[in-house]
Amino acid sequence: MERDSRKGIKGWLLVYLIGSIPLLIMYSMGLSGWFFEYPFILMVTIFLVLTIPLCLIILKSPKAPQWNISMWWTIVVLMTLRSISVFLEPGGKEMSIKEMLSVALTLLVIVSISLVWAIIWTKYFKKSIKVRNTFC
């Protein structure tokens, strides 16, 4: 019995699905705190919306790769804007230079992770034979 190892949700696609969940949780928390004080219901709603492209992979939708690429680049933009907004909030707490540097470095790491994740998986979804065989 011969298995087609270049088709299906195994290997790197499984790593992608499992690795994306913690990032989407983190991003949904950050985005839910943009306008409100981190309400749990809003965080869960944002998380569920962000997981729709992952569900398309599980369902093997032909548009899953494009939706996932779009989702990650949208997150890069939103997390960048969210990070910038931390310093522009009117009536926000005054920060010392040391606190500001600490917050800036933390936000830089978060934005960098989203950027690197988007670049890696965009390349994978566009060039992988397994992705092409699974979704085309």
Tens-digit pLDDT profile for residues 4-39: 555 656 678 889 999 999 999 999 998 888 767 778
Residue 23's pLDDT is: 94
Top pLDDT among 4 and 55 is at: 55
Mean pLDDT computed over every residue of the chain: 86
| Number of helices and strands in the chain (H, E) | 6, 0
Instruction: For the chain, give every domain's residue range.
Output: 12-85+93-135
* DSSP one-letter code for 93: P
Burial class (CB in 10 A: 0-12, 13-18, 19+), 72: buried
Token pair for 78: 């939103």
Cβ-Cβ contacts under 8 Å for 78 (sequence gap 6 or more): 27, 31
Give tens-digit pLDDT for 98-115: 888 998 899 999 999 999
Specify the length of the chain in residues.
136
Cβ-Cβ contacts under 8 Å for 122 (sequence gap 6 or more): 69, 72, 73
Mean local confidence (pLDDT), 62-81: 94
Residue 88's pLDDT is: 78
- Secondary structure percentages of the chain, helix, strand, coil, to 5: 75, 0, 25
Residue type, 72: W
Token pair for 34: 């943009």
- Report the 10 Å Cβ neighbour count for 99: 11
Q: Structure pTM?
A: 0.81
Mean local confidence (pLDDT), 66-90: 90
Q: Does pLDDT of 1 surpass 90?
A: no
Top pLDDT among 35 and 87 is at: 87
Q: Does pLDDT of 2 surpass 80?
A: no
Residue 5's pLDDT is: 56
